[in-house]
């Protein structure tokens, strides 16, 4: 059975009170619509059609992809009208309708729904709610067969007591969908063409309604305002935290972890509170991550220790290496085994060798640091001349005195040493002490400058 998927994403989202289109508001750092597109991709359809309207330019700029076709809905006349805009692009046997503001829908749920769709059976995803306010109600007959969906605003007092709600997600043959969409009317409270009206048409045409019920209501929850968006975010993060704990990760407080990407983990990992994991993160066995750390697109090798308040991006922390507290590793940085980066140290595009140490208050940019080299406090590599970046190379067992300025491009040989407070502008041979200081003068009876009144 071939499949086309239509995702409705044309709404303005006025209750968000934002200039950003509703479907671009993020869950776990990714637009809601991107989550839905990912779920659609997992079903391997013939095509993914995204119906856009408000903020169309922003949506297409952010989410353009080879396997996504954008369809413009110039007037927002209801969900039925929106689906109709995509019909000319569809050729598959079956059509599945999803929503760009329902980001947590799971491919396995959609697969179950599609299994019940045939030429004479359509699929409808429902949800049981203790408070279904705002949802269209699923109306069934005495044999529990679906006969219609009634929108909340059009429901009678008796129908409002029904707790089975319509998620809006449905699937049917393309042939039937074309016929039903052409027969829709806008004679209702909102003067819109409701996609849900096709249910009654299907019943009238003798097409059976196969229903699947979402096992978790949050999976089919839409986000119409900031409160609902926040609820979806917390639920998503709760799910991600449970996955990590099932894989052998200790979370000191599962409610205070944010995952905004994909995380691959080993065993016996400990993560303290308020940690953010972004992009693609790999954490091997026996890693410890302290509080308030941000780890983005990075690898933490076995036994690495990340102390509190570190920011690590595009970097690799080697086995048994440690960082922080308050260390920053910028893209292109790699720490080898047992390397040490202390507090208020920033590394950018730097390779720190085995057991090398950068204790505190230091900046190393575009640098190659050899094994067991020790960098004193207050050291900086002057890697930028105002136009171009230059590289600093230090051999093994180098010792850099405190408050040294190493002006690149420059090479320091094995076991070279710089005196504290030096500005080093020339290569230093191996086993050599380099001192670059101006002569000190003491000026007696010198008057300090005074503040002007």
| Residues marked as catalytic | 360
- The answer to whether 383 is a known ligand-binding residue is yes
- Are the C-beta atoms of 98 and 113 separated by less than 8 Å? no
Identify the H or E element spanning 423.
strand 423-424
Helix (H, G, I), strand (E, B) or coil at 117: coil
- The answer to whether 420 is a known ligand-binding residue is yes
- The answer to whether 151 is a known ligand-binding residue is yes
Give the integer Cα–Cα distance in Å for 407 and 166.
Answer: 67
- Count the neighbouring beta carbons within 10 Å of the beta carbon of residue 419: 16
- The answer to whether 292 is a known ligand-binding residue is no
Neighbouring C-alpha atoms within 13 Å toward the C-beta of 3: 21
- The answer to whether 364 is a known ligand-binding residue is no
- The answer to whether 377 is a known ligand-binding residue is yes
How many residues does this entry show for the chain? Answer: 453
Residue 284 tokens read as: 């091997």
- The answer to whether 79 is a known ligand-binding residue is yes
Radius of gyration of the chain (CA): 30
- The answer to whether 22 is a known ligand-binding residue is yes
- The answer to whether 384 is a known ligand-binding residue is yes
Q: Which residues pair with 384 in a beta bridge?
A: 389
- The answer to whether 437 is a known ligand-binding residue is yes
- Count the neighbouring beta carbons within 10 Å of the beta carbon of residue 399: 16
> Which DSSP letter does residue 219 get?
G
Residue 60 tokens read as: 């297409």
- The answer to whether 9 is a known ligand-binding residue is yes
- The answer to whether 330 is a known ligand-binding residue is yes
- The answer to whether 166 is a known ligand-binding residue is yes
In our burial notation (b when 16+ CB lie closer than 10 A, e otherwise), range 260-273 reads bbebebbeebebbb
Residue 126 tokens read as: 């429902």
- The answer to whether 363 is a known ligand-binding residue is yes
Distances (CA, A) of 134 to 1, 152, 165, 166, 224: 34, 6, 9, 10, 11
Residue 201 tokens read as: 């048409």
Give the integer Cα–Cα distance in Å for 435 and 206.
Answer: 93
Give the integer Cα–Cα distance in Å for 235 and 227.
Answer: 12
- The answer to whether 318 is a known ligand-binding residue is no
Q: Which residues are annotated as a binding site for Mg(2+)?
A: 101, 224
Binding-site residues from annotation = 8-11, 22, 73, 78-79, 99-101, 136, 151, 166, 224, 330, 348, 363, 374, 377, 383-384, 402, 420, 437
Give binding residues for acetyl-CoA as ranges.
Answer: 377, 383-384, 402, 420, 437
Binding-site members for UDP-N-acetyl-alpha-D-glucosamine are 8-11, 22, 73, 78-79, 99-101, 136, 151, 166, 224, 330, 348, 363, 374
């Amino acid at each position: 059975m071939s499949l086309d998927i239509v995702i409705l994403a044309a709404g303005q989202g006025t209750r968000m009170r934002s200039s950003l289109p509703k479907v671009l508001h993020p869950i776990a750092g990714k637009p809601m619509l991107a989550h839905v597109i990912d779920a659609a991709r997992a079903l391997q359809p013939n095509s993914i059609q995204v119906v856009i309207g408000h903020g169309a330019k922003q949506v297409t700029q952010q989410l353009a992809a080879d396997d996504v076709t954008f369809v413009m809905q110039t007037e927002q006349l209801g969900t039925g009208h929106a689906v109709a805009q995509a019909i000319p692009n569809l050729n598959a046997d079956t059509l599945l309708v999803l929503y760009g503001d329902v980001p947590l829908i799971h491919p396995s749920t959609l697969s179950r729904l599609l299994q019940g769709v045939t030429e004479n059976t359509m699929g409808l995803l429902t949800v049981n709610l203790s408070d279904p306010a705002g949802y269209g109600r699923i109306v069934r007959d005495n044999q529990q067969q679906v006969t219609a969906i009634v929108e909340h605003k059009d429901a009678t007092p008796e129908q409002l007591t029904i707790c089975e709600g319509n998620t809006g997600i449905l699937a049917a043959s393309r042939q039937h969908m074309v016929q039903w969409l052409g027969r829709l009317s806008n004679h209702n409270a909102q003067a819109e063409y409701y996609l849900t009206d096709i249910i009654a048409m299907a019943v009238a045409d003798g097409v059976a309604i196969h229903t699947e019920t979402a096992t978790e209501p949050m999976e089919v929850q839409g986000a119409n305002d900031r409160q609902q968006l926040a609820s979806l975010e917390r639920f998503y993060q709760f799910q991600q935290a449970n996955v990590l704990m099932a894989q052998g990760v200790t979370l000191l407080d599962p409610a205070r972890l944010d995952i905004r990407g994909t995380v691959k983990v080993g065993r016996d990992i400990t993560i303290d509170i308020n940690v953010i994991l972004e992009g693609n993160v790999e954490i091997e066995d026996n890693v410890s991550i302290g509080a308030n750390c941000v780890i983005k697109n990075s690898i933490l090798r076995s036994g690495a220790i990340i102390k509190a308040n570190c920011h690590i991006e595009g970097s690799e922390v080697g086995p048994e290496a440690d960082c922080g507290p308050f260390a920053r590793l910028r893209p292109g940085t790699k720490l080898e085994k047992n390397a040490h980066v202390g507090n208020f140290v920033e590394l950018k595009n730097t390779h720190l060798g085995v057991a090398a140490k950068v204790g505190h208050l230091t900046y190393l940019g575009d640098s190659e640091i050899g094994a067991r080299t020790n960098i004193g406090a207050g050291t900086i590599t002057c890697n930028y001349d105002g136009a171009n970046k230059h590289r600093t190379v230090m051999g093994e067992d180098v010792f850099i005195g405190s408050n040294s300025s190493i002006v690149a491009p420059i090479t320091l040989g094995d076991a070279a040493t710089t005196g504290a407070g030096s500005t080093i502008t020339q290569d230093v041979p191996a086993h050599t002490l380099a001192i670059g200081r101006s002569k000190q003068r003491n000026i007696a009876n010198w008057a300090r400058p005074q503040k002007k009144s």
